[in-house]
Structure 1
Amino acid sequence: MNGKTAIVTGSNSGFGLLCSLELANLGYRVIATMRDVQKGKQLLEMAKKMEVEQLIHIHPLDVTSAQSIRQFADMLKREEKIDLLLNNAGFALGGFAEEVTIEEYRLQFETNVFGVIGVTQAVIPLMRKQGAGKIINMSSISGRFGFPGLSPYVASKHALEGYSESLRLELKPYGIDVYLIEPGSYQTNIWTTGMKVASKSLNEHSPYSSYMNKINEELERGQGQLGNPQEIAQLVQDLAEGKKNTFRNPIGKGVRFTLVLKFIMPWKWVERIVLKKLGIKKRY
């Protein structure tokens, strides 16, 4: 052990699982949280193979539940210090803006935004008291670039980016560093079992059905180019150990080009490129 403690939300799969393992491999005592602790079996099995199971401590935490966050905050009062918080819990909701209900938008924000805020507020007092700490928020390229058919997810990640900017400026004087990780498309379940689509947009009678189908076709074509999620775990390691200290960390195939595309080119050019790639003709 290196005497450090890390909290990872959404650690039962995907980035959260891999990051929990890699942090434990560095000697961190990892408080691995998830809504259903029964889903922690895979994490524990993999930790055992890596001989770090003694450093993984699974705790229940539903980031959408105020009561669950309060209970987690009470548990943290028994901790001497928390060195790292990785806000990873989240999911993706797709669908066209006209057809996504307000309730569905709220559900997306409840997890991806308010859940992050709630957990972060539970951890800040301890970090501020100890005068040190690192908070890593798992954002997305969608937090910098809007994509059609994904407005709930895109909007939630844009909100997370703005929150993180303010948070970094607020906490910097207290020795707490805030970071954003902005992955492109990776081989995790967020775009398969973790992806939810507003039911109306899946209906063949939807005015957007053909558009939705073209987006799905493009996603399927890109399956072979998905990145290795171990790259994200390595980036978390580098941020945790101070090998990197950049606030925004875009990562993944084509991500930097996409950002250049948006911030260098006139927006009307960006529109043409995106719509042409999807085979969508502009209608007037």
Structure 2
Amino acid sequence: MMYKTAIITGASSGFGLLTTVELARRGFHVLATMRNMQKSQTFQTMTEDSKILNRIHAFPLDVTNQDSIQTFQHKVEQLEQVDVLVNNAGFAVGGFAEDVSLDAYRRQFEANVFGVMAVTQVVLPKMRQQGFGKVINVSSISGKIAFPGLSPYVASKHALEGYTESLRLEVKPFGVQVALVEPGSYKTNIWSTGMEVAEDSMKDDSAYQGYMEAIYSQLETGKQKHGDAKEVAYLIADLSDRKHFRKLHYPIGKGVKVLLWIKQTLPWNRWEQLVLSKLGMKK
């Protein structure tokens, strides 16, 4: 009997971890990829159900490393079919554009953009040949709305949005469906251990030091309102089970749809005033 197969990148924590367990609970066999295989033991802390755990197969993958991508390609070629690919791996670089090194920008794009492209290029031939498959790219509200002090992350997610829109149009005639999941603020580690901040933006002599502190203050205050990351995992699992993606964008999170509507509706100068005044930085 043929079973459904899903591949998830960044499966050892956050949305990736929760989605892996949820898809396995729904009967998918999940190739759960991660950079650090020691973290594969985390699945056993999420459930004691042996049937679920037996459907999870951890596999080493660094989406920014070509040798690792080639090893992953050999693994994918061995699979009978791939029903779903969830591109979730990524991290966040913060800091102000003047202070962030070009190397930091490159590393941000290597993980959040080029890593997605590399993994997708490996999986697409199999999906195209079998005539079906779903690619779900985990973006962010930051892919639609820019925030100060986060330009590397924001730029990478904007790039991911454009890439995914083109991808959807390219592969739909071959039976492959593509969607973007765009979470707002959720309780994951991307804003703590998963975030890297340009040190120059935090120095006392930085022109942006006070600005950065205001942003950090907002992030800390907002943590109490962060949603349960399981909501995103359930959405990804629902999309994986769905026969068709009726739309490209799936924003999710408290206030996200309202925020998107406000940005699209307000003139830019009003939107700009709103963002800066929220941070106490209106000039």
Same fold (TM over 0.5): yes
Alignment partner, residue 250 of structure 1: 251
Q: Conserved in 2, the CA contact under 8 Å of 1:24 and 1:30?
A: yes
Deviation at 1:76, TM superposition (A): 1.1
Q: 1:45-89 deviations in whole A, cap 9, x for unaligned? A: 324347411100000000000110011001111111000000000
Q: Conserved in 2, the CA contact under 8 Å of 1:28 and 1:55?
A: yes
Unaligned runs of 5+ residues in structure 2 are none
Residue type at the aligned position of 1:83: D
Residue type at the aligned position of 1:32: A
Deviation at 1:243, TM superposition (A): 6.8
Question: Does structure 1 residue 15 correspond to structure 2 residue 15?
Answer: yes
Count of equivalent residues: 282
Question: Does structure 1 residue 146 correspond to structure 2 residue 142?
Answer: no
Alignment partner, residue 34 of structure 1: 34
Deviation at 1:41, TM superposition (A): 1.1
The secondary structure found in structure 2 opposite 1:48 is coil
Which whole-Å CA distance do the structure 1 matches of 2:172 and 2:134 have between them? 10
Question: Does structure 1 residue 107 correspond to structure 2 residue 112?
Answer: no
Which whole-Å CA distance do the structure 2 matches of 1:278 and 1:50 have between them? 48
Which whole-Å CA distance do the structure 2 matches of 1:134 and 1:120 have between them? 11
Q: 1:2-37 deviations in whole A, cap 9, x for unaligned? A: 710000000000000000000000100000000011
Residue type at the aligned position of 2:249: R
Identity %: 55
Q: 1:174-216 deviations in whole A, cap 9, x for unaligned? A: 0000000000000000011111101111111110000000001
Alignment partner, residue 166 of structure 1: 166
Structure 1 runs (4+) deviating above 4 angstroms are: none
User: Normalization by structure 2: what TM-score?
Assistant: 0.97
Q: Conserved in 1, the CA contact under 8 Å of 2:177 and 2:244?
A: no
Q: Conserved in 1, the CA contact under 8 Å of 2:94 and 2:196?
A: yes
The secondary structure found in structure 1 opposite 2:235 is helix
The secondary structure found in structure 1 opposite 2:78 is coil
Which whole-Å CA distance do the structure 2 matches of 1:260 and 1:281 have between them? 22
Q: 1:126-174 deviations in whole A, cap 9, x for unaligned? A: 0000000000000000000100000000000000000000000000000
Q: Conserved in 1, the CA contact under 8 Å of 2:184 and 2:252?
A: yes
Residue type at the aligned position of 1:267: W
Alignment partner, residue 263 of structure 2: 262
Q: Conserved in 1, the CA contact under 8 Å of 2:37 and 2:60?
A: yes
**Deviates further, 194-203 or 168-177:** 194-203
Question: Does structure 1 residue 63 correspond to structure 2 residue 63?
Answer: yes
Alignment partner, residue 218 of structure 2: 218
Which whole-Å CA distance do the structure 2 matches of 1:237 and 1:2 have between them? 19
Distance 1:192 1:181, change over 3 A: same
Residue type at the aligned position of 1:85: L
**Residues 88-107 of structure 1: pairs in structure 2 closer than 5 A:** 88-107=88-107
Alignment partner, residue 5 of structure 1: 5
Which whole-Å CA distance do the structure 2 matches of 1:178 and 1:85 have between them? 10
Alignment partner, residue 43 of structure 2: 43
Query: What RMSD, in angstroms, separates the aligned Cα atoms of the two structures?
Result: 1.3
Question: Does structure 1 residue 273 correspond to structure 2 residue 274?
Answer: yes
Q: Conserved in 1, the CA contact under 8 Å of 2:135 and 2:178?
A: yes
Which whole-Å CA distance do the structure 2 matches of 1:50 and 1:70 have between them? 31
Q: Conserved in 2, the CA contact under 8 Å of 1:2 and 1:28?
A: no
Distance 1:98 1:21, change over 3 A: same
Q: Conserved in 1, the CA contact under 8 Å of 2:273 and 2:282?
A: no
Deviation at 1:92, TM superposition (A): 0.6
The secondary structure found in structure 2 opposite 1:52 is helix
Residue type at the aligned position of 1:20: T
Which whole-Å CA distance do the structure 1 matches of 2:216 and 2:35 have between them? 29
Which whole-Å CA distance do the structure 1 matches of 2:126 and 2:112 have between them? 23
Which whole-Å CA distance do the structure 2 matches of 1:189 and 1:12 have between them? 11
Q: Conserved in 2, the CA contact under 8 Å of 1:47 and 1:56?
A: no
